[in-house]
A and B are shown apart, each in its own frame.
Chain A
Amino acid sequence: KQEVTQIPAALSVPEGENLVLNCSFTDSAIYNLQWFRQDPGKGLTSLLLIQSSQREQTSGRLNASLDKSSGRSTLYIAASQPGDSATYLCAVIMDSNYQLIWGAGTKLIIKP
């Protein structure tokens, strides 16, 4: 059964730093991997989607990489800002049934 793990569970860094969030999964038979952002009291916002055949995707200050064979993805945030404070979730869609399997998230705090 697919398991998605995100480490660390929480992270606090000063404004301006570059940082990396990690996501690992146990079953490499995925259709794609997505990174989401969750703000308190709000729904989930899709940040980046990487198809299984791709290695990375970029959007502004965000870069997500995927190494399917090793079961890992990273979300790189450049020049962090207080507005980046949120919980970041990764999720994989399985090849077999297109079910979305989620990690528990990393709570990120950017200190001004």
Chain B
Amino acid sequence: EAQVTQNPRYLITVTGKKLTVTCSQNMNHEYMSWYRQDPGLGLRQIYYSMNVEVTDKGDVPEGYKVSRKEKRNFPLILESPSPNQTSLYFCASSLASHQPQHFGDGTRLSIL
């Protein structure tokens, strides 16, 4: 089954404790992206990757890192999480940036 898988689905942690949210897709997609969703703001892009070893900042990259060492994986790293990063996070992938994106089920992060 074609899918985008995020882990964990839910995480409650404390300020400053490094965490990684994994994202994996099995559709051989070139393009992958991370978004955060906050009430009343819609989804905002954090980082995206056009292909392996190519990553670029989206609209709200501060406090986040990503890597794209393999085509299928695109982890989101919070080196020193802060409470303002409490949000619902979505990973997405597509054949190319202008093609329809497939979304994971989301990761709800709470930073205390």
Min CB distance A55 to B, Å, is: 19
A50 to chain B, nearest CB (A): 12
Judging by beta carbons under 8 Å apart, are A43 and B98 in contact?
no
| Residue of A42, A46, A104 touching B42 (CB-CB under 8 A) | A104
Q: Which residues of B contact A42 (CB under 8 A)?
A: 105-106
Expressed in whole angstroms, the Cα–Cα distance for A50 and B87 within the complex equals 29
**Size class of the A contact interface (CB-based, 8 Å):** 20 to 34
Number of interface residues of B (CB under 8 A): 20
* Contact present for B44 and A102 (CB under 8 Å): yes
Interface string of A18-55 (1 = CB under 8 A from B): 00000000000001101000000111111001000000
Q: Is there a chain A Cβ closer than 8 Å to B81's Cβ?
A: no
Residues on the A chain within 8 Å of B110, using CB: none
B97 proximity list for chain A (CB < 8 A): 93, 98-99
B51 at the interface (CB under 8 A from A): no
**A71: interface (CB < 8 Å):** no
B42 to A98, Cβ gap below 8 A? Answer: no
Cβ contact within 8 Å between B90 and A103:
no
- Determine the distance from Cα of A76 to Cα of B103 in the docked complex, in whole angstroms: 23
Residue numbers in B under 8 Å from A105 (CB-CB)? 42
Q: Bits for A77-108, please: 1 = Cβ < 8 Å to B, else 0.
A: 00000000000010101000011101111000
- Say how far A56's CB is from chain B's closest CB, in angstroms: 17
A89 to chain B, nearest CB (A): 7
Q: Is the CB of A102 within 8 A of B100?
A: no
The chain B residues found within 8 Å of chain A, CB to CB, are 4, 33, 35, 40-45, 58, 90, 96-98, 100-101, 103-106
